[in-house]
Every structure is written in C-alpha cells, then in structure tokens.
C-alpha cells in the first residue's frame, strides 16, 4: 500500500495548462509510490508532447493499462511502445477486435487502428501483453478488474456500438475494465469510459477487494446521455461507498458533472489535460 498517489492527466478533451494541447481522448499517468503506470494513451501521439511538458517520463513506465479498445484510448499506444519497448501492456483480448458505432445512417470504425493492433500482437509474441479476461495484479497494491459483470438493470454501454460494419451485432464491450489501488485512506478507482457502468464497476471492485470504502473515483463515466434516474443511482453509489474525491473526465458529461457536484460539494474536480490529483 502506497502513501503517495499522484494522477496526472496527459490527455483529455479539455486543457488547463500552459503549452499543452487537448484532444478527444483520455490518458492518465499514475505515480504510485515508486511505480509508474500509463492508463490509456489518448487518440494520437499527443500524450508524448504533453508528457514532456508535464515531466512525465513515459519511457520509464512500469506498465500500460488499456481501459478498452476504442481509438480515443489506444491511439498513442504504438508511439509509447516505440520508446518503451520493454513495458508490459494489460488489456482484455476484446480490445483488439473491430469496433463500430452508428449515428443515424452513418457507420464509422471506432476501434484501435490496424497498425496499433499489429503492434499489440507483436508485443504479445514477445510475452509482454497480459490478457486480462480476469482480474489481475499489475504490481503490488495495484489491480485491473478485467471484464466487469453487468448486474444493474439501469446501466448500458452508453451508445450504439457494434462488432461488425453492418451494425448487426451489438458490442457489449467486454473489454471495458478499470484500475484500482490501495491507499491508507481507502481505494482509488480509475475509469476509462465506464462502458460497464459506474455502479457495476464500483460494486465489482468492492467485491474483489473486500474494502467497502472507496476514497476516490477518477476518470470517464460515460453519463453524457444518461437518464436522471441513472445519474441519481450513480450518486447513491458514491454515497453508499462514502467517496471523498470525484474526478470527472472525458465522457462524463457537463450536466451530469454539475449534478454530481451539487450532491457532493467540495468533493469534486475536473480532470482536464495538465491537471494533477494528489490523493
């Protein structure tokens, strides 16, 4: 258990630091004691530029964790592996499969690029990919959930996602996973997009860890188009686990974030590019 945790936002949809740039995507740099983990890699290699400005040496990462296989979370992976070829990648096997979305009559590919997929497969041949179908310990005190069970009846994946270009088979995003780690004040949970649902995610992490106190929940919550009932039930879960720090990022949704802020005054913050959370 580390007493020092710092989460630096390398990539997010908004920006708060001088000289930094933003893009639709997410990437966090986690300092957990003397261990360094990259969680997601944004949409492009922008994270490398931002990391240099922020003093995050991603070439010295001990591990890379992918929350799921969408392009805006995996786009910078090949660039990172180019400078950190010995690092271990943690990803669910479904993260490398084709992924599509449909809006109206428009279909577009939203999975990781073909070139990134080839880099991941080559890395796997070198035995530097851990396929996280089940929960895994990335390093002492720091874990990844693997596939998260879908138990609630009010949470969905948050969009019209498919595994085929004809959009005939829905993508339930089994690759969606979260990170969690121990601190003296309780668990810290890191979310990529929460396609499995925030409540499903928190309930599963409590089951895995046996710790009923979650100190911090940080990242993308995919509540942009959520119903008021779903938002309220998410708030209820934060109350149930007595969450003290709530960091919004990426796909949470501004209106949703404001509603949660109202429920937890003084406990919430925004994860814009360049922000640092010391927990």
DSSP H helical segments within the chain, as ranges? 46-54, 71-74, 77-83, 114-125, 198-209, 228-240, 254-263
Strands in 106-109's sheet, in edge-to-edge order, are 106-109, 100-103, 161-162
pLDDT confidence of residue 1? 67
Overall domain count for the chain: 1
Residue with tokens 């400005």: 53
Between CA 139 and CA 154 the distance in angstroms is 33
User: Which two three-digit tokens encode residue 194?
Assistant: 């929460």
Q: Angle at the Cα of 173 (from 164 to 97), degrees rounded to 5?
A: 50
The model's pTM: 0.96
Q: What is the pLDDT of residue 249?
A: 93
Sheet holding 129-131, edge to edge: 129-131, 88-91, 63-65, 35-39, 27-32, 5-11, 276-278
pLDDT one digit per residue (tens) for the chain, 279 residues: 667 899 999 999 999 988 999 999 999 999 999 999 999 999 999 999 999 999 999 999 999 999 999 999 999 999 999 999 999 999 999 999 999 999 888 999 999 999 999 999 999 999 999 999 999 999 999 999 999 999 999 999 999 999 999 999 999 999 999 999 999 899 999 999 999 999 999 999 999 999 888 999 999 999 988 999 999 999 999 999 999 999 999 999 988 999 999 999 999 999 999 999 998
CATH code, domain with 16: 3.60.15.10
DSSP structural state of residue 252 = S
Give me the residue label for tokens 């933003």: 22
Give the whole-angstrom CA distance, residue 97 versus residue 84: 24
Domain range for 45 is 5-278
């Amino acid at each position: 258990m580390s007493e020092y945790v710092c989460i630096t936002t390398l990539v997010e949809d908004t920006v708060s630091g001088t000289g930094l740039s933003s893009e639709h995507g997410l990437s966090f740099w986690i300092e957990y004691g003397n261990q360094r983990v990259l969680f997601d890699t944004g949409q492009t290699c922008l994270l490398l530029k931002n990391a240099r400005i922020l003093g995050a040496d991603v070439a010295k990462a001990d591990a890379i964790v992918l929350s799921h296989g969408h392009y805006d979370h995996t786009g910078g992976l090949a660039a990172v592996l180019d400078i950190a070829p010995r690092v271990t990648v943690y990803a669910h096997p479904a993260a490398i499969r084709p992924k599509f979305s449909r809006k109206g009559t428009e279909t577009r590919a939203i999975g990781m690029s073909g070139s990134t997929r080839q880099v991941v497969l080559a890395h796997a041949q070198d035995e530097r990919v851990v396929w996280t179908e089940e929960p895994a310990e990335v390093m002492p005190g720091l874990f990844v959930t693997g596939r998260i069970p879908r138990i609630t009846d009010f949470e969905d994946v948050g969009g019209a996602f498919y595994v085929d270009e004809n959009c005939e088979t829905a993508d339930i995003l089994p690759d969606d996973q979260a990170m969690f780690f121990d601190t003296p004040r309780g668990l810290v949970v890191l979310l990529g997009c929460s396609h499995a649902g925030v409540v499903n995610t928190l309930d599963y992490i409590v089951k895995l860890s046996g710790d009923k106190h979650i100190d911090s929940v940080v990242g993308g919550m995919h509540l942009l188009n959520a119903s008021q009932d779903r938002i309220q039930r998410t708030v209820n879960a934060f109350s149930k686990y007595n969450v003290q720090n709530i960091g919004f990022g990426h796909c949470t949704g501004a209106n949703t974030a404001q509603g949660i802020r109202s429920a937890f005054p003084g406990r919430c913050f925004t994860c814009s590019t360049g922000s640092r959370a010391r927990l």
